[in-house]
Amino acid sequence: MTFHKNPVYKRTFHVEGKSFKNAGKVSRQVKTLLQDMKFPADIVRRAAIITYEAEINICSYADRGEITLEVSPKEIIIESKDQGQGIEDIELAMREGYSTATDKIVSMGFGAGMGLSNMKHFSDSFDITSEVGKGTYLKMTIRIKNP
């Protein structure tokens, strides 16, 4: 894919909430898209991890959500918006190992309390807002360093 005529690629993926039936599907699609665009492997890996963690949070905690991928030559922006329970204490939720996962979620191998911290770690910029009873919005940016 070239960016000469169209400087930005943008796509929104819908994620089913409270269901793991398709968990990981969006992150696999994002990975394939970025590979097809010939991004370096480390950029693809970071974007796939961020997307996977956002997707699993929607599958675990929200009624529904969407993840938007926006790509330009200078940056990759991943936004996650969900409608769900929201986060009561963002500072606490950002601590590695803190989790509100149910026993069912943990029994499936999720809910280790690393999702938000992983998203922040693999992003060059990370923003989060949440309203209890409404949902959560995340914006993560990966800057592309030109050779």
**pLDDT one-digit tens code per residue, 107-132:** 888 889 999 999 999 999 999 999 99
| Residue 36 is assigned to a structural domain of this protein | yes
- In this prediction, residues 28-53 reach a mean pLDDT of 97
| Residue 2 is assigned to a structural domain of this protein | no
Mean pLDDT, all residues of the chain: 93
Question: Does residue 147 surpass a pLDDT of 70?
Answer: no
| Residue 33 is assigned to a structural domain of this protein | yes
Give the domain range for residue 124.
Answer: 9-143
Q: Torsion angle of alpha carbons 22, 23, 24, 27, nearest 10°?
A: 90
For residues 77 and 141, the answer to whether their CB atoms sit within 8 Å is yes
Residue 13, phi then psi, degrees to nearest 5: -110, 130
Q: Looking at residue 99, which CATH number applies to its domain?
A: 3.30.565.10
Query: Smallest Cα–Cα separation from 80: which of 61, 56, 54, 60?
Result: 54
**pLDDT one-digit tens code per residue, 65-81:** 999 999 999 999 999 99
Rounded to two decimals, the pTM is: 0.92
pLDDT of 7: 58
- Helix 25-36 vs helix 41-61: crossing angle, to nearest 10: 160
pLDDT of 5: 47
Q: 75-84 and 62-71: which strand pairing? A: antiparallel
